[in-house]
Structure 1
């Protein structure tokens, strides 16, 4: 995320917003004080900004439903979370229909879409007429989980003539990230309902991103999604340690572990810079 934020990628904004939104949500879940409607409104605003950057991340609003009812002063205040979901769902639909779609039609993508027979309405009609193809498309998305994870340390496109990656650092980074997701000793544990709900939101964002790309970046009649990059899913990695981590061994020296993690992170950041220099200069 740090590497992407320091680049010219327009997706950089979603990483900071996602970190703030999830951190704020966790503070509401773990706080000893009661959750107020104002705080729900703040989280909704963060999800609104996040969704306006990348539409599939509107789904982060569903995480508000994972706040335990006991965290609210009055049971009825829990309904503000449901109201927030409904309001943001309407906003997402209106924004997609009246802004996002027209914006694409008046952007540089229009020429590319015309040359490659990309049309969302025609693609939807094709999928309705061939429902089995849609199933294959979803299966294609699921089969790409390994590719998404393995390409997290790969930057740029092959057709641009250079790739910023390392055959050594890439697998090392994947092992490091896997250890953080599954093995880091968490002081704060989350309920099974939270884990299942957060996983459902992550799956919704993941599949939704492929579906959006299928409609807006893939030729009509093709079910093999084009244009997908690993960076689209970086915000999901914020949730993964809390979904899959089952390490409750708090006897470990977490301060020392954190120090090692910081050193390794700095090493990986330096490696991305070296890959960029070697790839371009």
Structure 2
């Protein structure tokens, strides 16, 4: 009787959808990220808030008033509201005080509009700010204060990004275990509960990967046309937000036979058209971005063209110096990238990432020697490496001093979408690959969900304790 009850209980646990686990987690963790992260203490959040406010006002593109200034005519308060928190952008171990909050809380909307410069975010597509703009739209209807408007913008982003994550996990099913672990990392929670466009990029990437996981189970002839259109638009939005992610539009080719190239080509074409259209639109408002002292995109490009081997040297030096730090940032370094989590979290986070990635392969390890699996996995790693090099080179050209030996301005958040696409690896297993250990087939989903729940609880507690101890 006890054995039967245990078996019944295990099946009940195993039947809990991943999307439910994530929704419950974000109900608490999202609230912690939204409230406990001080205003504007997510990378570039002041500029992202200004851009979201412009989109809420109906502004799709910026206005360039000089070779170095591009932005929009908005209430001056959208820029001033962040000033009380500027000293915390570079971490000095100081606490947020009541007087600082009161200063921001007491601000009122200014009139008339003035030109607000935002060269680093004006080039981003309005689709990246749908959540934040929706929150600001609601705030305006409620006549909210600038401080209240900011938090409603965060709330709008959080709701949309959480819904995207839940939709992605619902589509992926149990194949989304690795995605769930990534989404439950403090780094992702912090971005999704902010005004930053990176939160939406994470949600869209998770959604795109989950759709590909489902399409991989079907013959190409059975691919739903609406999913194909949605996938092409999703890839277009991702690429428009971050140019190096343009390589993601090649991913559909990895999940289908070579002869069935037409629908993957239509996805590639649709995503490319969206990306190119936005590129042509935003050119009129783009200006050269200011990097580190001594940086110049033109001179840097000339330097690389004269010595192409420097690209390899810069890449290898950057990986040697920063790979460990960047990987920790993928899991979570809060604030503007200076607030470390406890060391044991990084250790357990690495274990969680490894186990969740390997979970679909348990009982099917012999299938990884399949030639087609190895080829497709190698191509996926090629996309990973090409995109990584793209990120390196963009920041090297734009942000790094001319002739620098490594890339300046790198942050782990840029690489989270790259880890998400690795969730496609199980889709490359042969369709007839069966579980080689049938006796554990029922236990695995149950144990996996217990493991996920425990890790998410630990992530939630770590997020809360780190933010409260550091800032409050």
Relative to the length of structure 2, the TM-score reads 0.50
- Which of residues 422, 430, 448 is equivalent to 1:257? 448
CA RMSD of superposed structures (Å):
3.2
**SS in structure 1 of the partner of residue 410 of structure 2:** coil
Equivalence for 1:165: 341
1:104/1:176 CA distance change after superposition, 3 Å: farther
1:197/1:187 CA distance change after superposition, 3 Å: farther
- Which of residues 124, 138, 146 is equivalent to 2:301? 124
**SS in structure 1 of the partner of residue 335 of structure 2:** coil
Moved more, 44-53 or 165-174: 165-174
Separation (CA, whole Å) in 2 of partners of 1:101 and 1:262:
48
Separation (CA, whole Å) in 2 of partners of 1:263 and 1:80:
40
- 1:186 Cα offset (Å): 6.2
- Which of residues 193, 199, 214 is equivalent to 1:12? 199
Q: Which runs of 5+ in 2 are unaligned?
A: 1-187, 430-434
2:338 aligned with 1:147: no
1:82-133 Cα deviation digits (max 9, x unpaired): 354356446546655762695343xxx44xx3x7132222211111112222
Aligned 8 A contact 2:395 2:408 in 1: yes
Moved more, 262-271 or 29-38: 29-38
Output aligned runs, 1:259-274, within 5 Å.
259-274=450-465
Q: Which runs of 5+ in 1 are unaligned?
A: none
Q: How many residues align?
A: 267
- 1:45 Cα offset (Å): 0.8
Aligned 8 A contact 1:149 1:174 in 2: no
- Which of residues 247, 252, 275 is equivalent to 2:466? 275
Aligned 8 A contact 1:13 1:53 in 2: no
**SS in structure 1 of the partner of residue 339 of structure 2:** coil
Output aligned runs, 1:1-281, within 5 Å.
1-31=188-218, 34-35=222-223, 38-69=226-257, 78-86=261-269, 88-89=271-272, 92=275, 95-96=278-279, 99=282, 102-105=285-288, 109-110=289-290, 113=291, 116-143=293-320, 144-151=322-329, 152-157=331-336, 163-183=339-359, 185=361, 191-243=373-425, 251-252=440-441, 253=443, 254-281=445-472
**SS in structure 2 of the partner of residue 178 of structure 1:** helix
**SS in structure 1 of the partner of residue 341 of structure 2:** coil
- 1:236 Cα offset (Å): 2.0
Kindly name which structure, 1 or 2, has the bigger radius of gyration based on alpha carbons.
2
Separation (CA, whole Å) in 1 of partners of 2:343 and 2:280:
43
Aligned 8 A contact 2:201 2:241 in 1: yes
